[in-house]
Structures are given as structure tokens and as C-alpha cells.
Structure 1
Amino acid sequence: MIYRTKGGRMALREEKKRATRTTLADTAMTLFLAKGFDGVTVAEVARAANVSVNTAFNYFPTKEDLFFDRQDEVADRLAAAVRDREPGESAVAAVRRAFLARLAANDPTLGLSAEATAFWRLIDDSTALQARLRHLGERTEAALAQALAAAVDTGVDDPRPRLAAAAIAGLDRALHAEIRRGILAGADPEALRASIIELATAEFDSVVAGLAGYATKMPARGAHPGPEGDAP
């Protein structure tokens, strides 16, 4: 009974933390949209969210972190696709499948909606946000390279995981840039989605041709004859 009570209290604390984090991020975005990213301070966000400035910084060390509040999830998504790939599926095929699934689910991090226009314009109007977006792309590529290196297990001196990650992440960035360009140009979101699906399928196919079989996950031992481990 004591254990359950303790666990319940811990769960409640975590829930409160998540709520505070969400409140801070939502409040910040409201202010950013009203005044521009550079026209808002963390202190203003804290006041509007009814928390102390120290509390705001505990959750978000920088103002850019408040804007990109889901950056850790975004930076890990390509690596996660590789880690979760299915038996017989290559790294590129897994990333393509994950990307198309996000498109189908209308993942908000894609920014593929008319409402995202203001979000993209905020980035265009701030050199700090542009720099953070580039850094986020670098983090995404580095995480992917790490996941690929673990998948093929060829050692830290092997440059191939880094080169493969650069190719895959570069294509992923280009597809996101097309979404951003289309939304800012006023394209119909559903028409743009269909175009991106077609483009992603074709372009990932070309990358697959160059990286065919790279980091393919082999079936479990005994499930299928053949070599064990991941393909180099």
C-alpha cells in the first residue's frame, strides 16, 4: 500500500511537470505569434504562465528551447526509425516508412497546415531560430549516424554510417523544406501532402538504390536461413 501511494505521488508529480511544461510552451508560442520571437523575453513568458523565471529556465534553458519544445523528439525520429526497423527492412526503407506514416497521421511537427504559416514566418524573421533549426538538423543527422553505426557494428573508425546518415538526413531536410516552401506559398495542404508523398516515394527510391541493403535488419536466429546480425 505504501509503495502504491509513493508511486501515485511520483506519477502526480510527473503529470504536474508535463502540465507546467506544456503551459510554458503554449504560452510562449502565443506571445511569439503576437510580438515576434525576438520581441518576447523568457521573463514575459514566465509571468504570463504564472511561474517564476527560474522555473521557466529549469524547463527550457533557452528561449529557443521554448519555441522548439519538441526538438528532442524531432532530433531522434530518424534514429528511432532505424532502431525500430522490421526484419528484412533496410535503414532507408525504415526512414521512408516512418516519414510517410507521419504524413498520413498529419504529424504536427511537419508543419503541413495553413496554421503553420505563422510558425514558419517566425523562423524566417529570426536569425536565432534559423540557427537553432540548422543545429536541430545537425543533431538529427548525428543521432542517425550513431544509430546506423550501432546497426552495422563496424567500429567508430568506419565513415560509412556517417556518409549514409548525411545522404538520408539531407533528403529528409529537403522534403521538410518543400513542405515549408509550399505552406508559405499558400499551397493547399492536402494537395501539398499528395505532392510530398509522391516526391518522397520517388526520391527515397533513388536513395534506396544507392544504399540498397545497407543496415538491413536480419530475421531472428532460426527464423530464416542466412547470416546473423545486420548487413554491412
Structure 2
Amino acid sequence: MPRNRQQIPKAEREAALVDHAWELFATRGYKGTSLAEVGRAAGVAANAVRWYFPTKDDLFAAALGHYVTQVRERIEADEELAGDPQRELVALLLDMEPYRGLHREAYERIGDSEALAGTYGQMQEWLEGRLLAAITGGLPADADVGLIADTAHVLFEGLLVSVRRLDRPTAEVVQLLTEALTAAAAARRGTGG
């Protein structure tokens, strides 16, 4: 006999909402998904969804954050990728490529949603961390790491939200990015910049 909803722990109901929300957002996009549809898919009354997630942006942030966390955990557990920050970075970007439209919608909404800004910020922090780990060995001791991180942030946003398909494999683009940033940091050092 199925359990009564009151017997299902809150965390379990919340997780079901997030899972169903991700499926709907991934297939229908942000604008094409309603809280009521997510509730129906998860077997929760539409009004009850707002008890867990007061706004659609809160649910969107939770779904996007959950997806990114799952991808990161899988990458970090993969023996072929783990410990190689550049390969980890490429793997995450490749996994997210089919969801560029969702990233674009999240990016457009981060100014209006603290939840989305936080989720997107955590993802960017991980991406930048992988990039900095990949290039640290080639950087001069006095390199402006903040400038490199800012540059990487802008470039990653472009990779995540662009509607343009890359002419080259993502791994090749990331390789060029790491080489260019390392060379630029070394050149700035030489010019006193």
C-alpha cells in the first residue's frame, strides 16, 4: 500500500519535486514549465509546491543546482577524470552543453533571484577553480589570479549560454583558453602590467 503523503519525509517530497522539475525544465524550458505541472508530475498539489519552493525561480535554482551537483560528483568520482582539472572542466562543460537554453534563462534571471544567483555562482566558482588548478603550474608567482578568474568567468558564461555551436571540440577550446591565459599572465608580468 502506498504511503500517505504525511508519512513521506519533507526532504523526500522536496527531492521528488526537484527531480520532476529538472525533467520538465530540461524538456520544456523555464518559460514552458509551471509550478502546477511540476506538482502534478510529483503527485503534489500545486499550492503545496509553493510551500517547498516559494517561487518558480527557487525551484529552478534547486533543480539546476541538483543537476550540476550530480554531474560534478560523477566527474569527481571518475577515475579517468578525477585529479585532472582540465579534463574535469571539459567534462562538465560537455555535460551541460545540451542545456544551454536553461543556462541562458538562469543567467537572465540571476539579477532578480538570489537563489539562481547563488546556484549559478557556485557553478562558476567550481569552473573557475578547475581552470585555475589547470593553469597554476604555468603562472608566474605574481600573476593576477583575480584577473584570470574574471576572464574565465566571462568566457565560461559564453560557453554555457551561447546559441552558437562551436566549430571545434570543447576540449580544444579549453586547451586554447588555458594556454592563452597562462601566456597572457606571463606577458603582463614582463611588461609590468
- Tell me the TM-score normalised to structure 2 length: 0.50
Structure with the bigger RCO (C-alpha within 8 Å, sep 6+) is 1
Bigger radius of gyration: 1
